[in-house]
């Protein structure tokens, strides 16, 4: 717990952390301003908007949290506590665990803070009084499996959290193997943002070779499968996943493999002192 608290304090002493939060706020303001101009107050779909109120915070927040995580890990090997722990692999593992837990905690913070901010912006600035929390128990009109707003928020965000943990494990492996800060960040950004390109390429190939769909960049389709009907239909028709079973196995397997390899490498490798 002390390690986690120490890592948390270190993160929130950095100006970049607060700049990232500010960036989330600015994107939320810009999006809602656009929505206000494009749709107007009278045509505003409050139920649909409330059902997707976490999307910006979770989407942008996940990328920023992964950047923070990668930066923290790469710095740890050159400047942090790990480089002094040559003979204490258990201590090194404890530090690694604290950083993983902090990354998950940061994700929660970004999503919750961003969601609260977006609700305030929507309900009190652009669409005054439209975002009544009583609508949480209303059924979304169509395209969401007949869910209520609250059920949609719970299911979509739990699926998103599972995918986020997978990405954290992937970033962990990249940073443990390539401990250089710049290289780690470049590889992380490629893995997160370039994954959609690889998905697009394999979507064409999967028509001929069905086994090719089981690569790690398709794991994030797990979130799409549970998000809404249109995205589930896309996963089924284009990526050829008829149900979520294979996606669940991929999610668990890749996450476990990445974590195990990362801890083994972290416990055994020598740390270079600059």
Q: What is the value of pTM for the model shown? A: 0.89
- Residue 247 has a pLDDT of 93
Nearest by Cα to 162 from 240, 110, 104: 104
What stretches in the chain show pLDDT beneath 70? 77-90, 180-181, 184, 269-274
Environment class of 133 (CB within 10 Å of its CB; exposed 0-12, middle 13-18, buried 19+): exposed
- Residue 84 has a pLDDT of 46
The count of other CB atoms within 10 Å of the CB of residue 225 is 21
Span 138-180, pLDDT tens digits: 998 888 888 999 999 999 999 999 999 999 999 899 888 877 6
Nearest by Cα to 69 from 91, 101, 93, 94: 101
Tokens read off for 90 = 């258990």
Span 114-144, pLDDT tens digits: 999 999 999 998 888 888 888 899 998 888 8
CA–CA separation, 23 and 149 (whole Å): 27
How far is the CA of 43 from the CAs of 36, 129, 136, 180, in angstroms? 10, 14, 19, 51
**DSSP string of 53-96?**
TTHHHHHHHHHHHHHHHHHHHHHHHHTSGGGG-TT-HHHHHHHH
- Residue 268 has a pLDDT of 73
Residue for token digits 């390109």? 197
- Residue 80 has a pLDDT of 54
Nearest by Cα to 152 from 166, 135, 165: 135
Judged by DSSP in three states, 171 sits in helix
- Residue 79 has a pLDDT of 63
44 φ, ψ (degrees, to nearest 5): -70, 130
Contact 247, 158 (CB under 8 A): no
40 φ, ψ (degrees, to nearest 5): 85, 165
Contact 253, 224 (CB under 8 A): no
- Residue 274 has a pLDDT of 42
CA–CA separation, 238 and 110 (whole Å): 32
CA–CA separation, 251 and 237 (whole Å): 20
Environment class of 266 (CB within 10 Å of its CB; exposed 0-12, middle 13-18, buried 19+): buried
Contact 162, 244 (CB under 8 A): no
258 φ, ψ (degrees, to nearest 5): -60, -40
């Amino acid at each position: 717990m002390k390690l986690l608290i120490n890592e948390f304090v270190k993160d929130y002493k950095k100006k970049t952390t607060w700049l990232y939060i500010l960036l989330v706020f600015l994107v939320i303001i810009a999006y809602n301003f656009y929505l206000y101009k494009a749709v107007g107050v009278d045509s505003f779909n409050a139920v649909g908007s409330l059902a997707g109120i976490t999307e910006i915070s979770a989407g942008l927040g996940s990328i920023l949290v992964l950047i923070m995580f990668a930066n923290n890990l790469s710095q740890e090997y050159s400047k942090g506590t790990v480089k002094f722990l040559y003979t204490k692999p258990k201590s090194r593992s404890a530090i690694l665990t604290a950083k993983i837990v902090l990354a998950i905690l940061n994700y929660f913070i970004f999503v919750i803070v961003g969601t609260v901010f977006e609700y305030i912006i929507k309900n009190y600035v652009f669409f005054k009084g439209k975002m009544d929390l009583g609508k949480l128990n209303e059924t979304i009109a169509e395209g969401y499996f007949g869910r209520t707003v609250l059920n949609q928020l719970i299911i979509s965000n739990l699926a998103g959290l599972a995918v986020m943990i997978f990405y954290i494990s992937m970033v962990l492996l990249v940073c443990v193997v390539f401990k250089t800060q710049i290289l780690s960040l470049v590889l992380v950004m490629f893995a997160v943002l370039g994954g959609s390109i690889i998905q697009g390429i394999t979507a064409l190939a999967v028509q001929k070779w069905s086994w090719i769909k089981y690569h790690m960049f398709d794991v994030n389709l797990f979130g799409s499968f549970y998000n809404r009907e249109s995205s589930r239909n896309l996963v089924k028709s284009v990526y050829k996943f008829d149900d979520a079973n294979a996606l669940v196995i991929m999610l668990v397997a890749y996450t476990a493999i990445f974590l195990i390899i990362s801890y083994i490498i972290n416990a055994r490798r020598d740390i270079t002192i600059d």
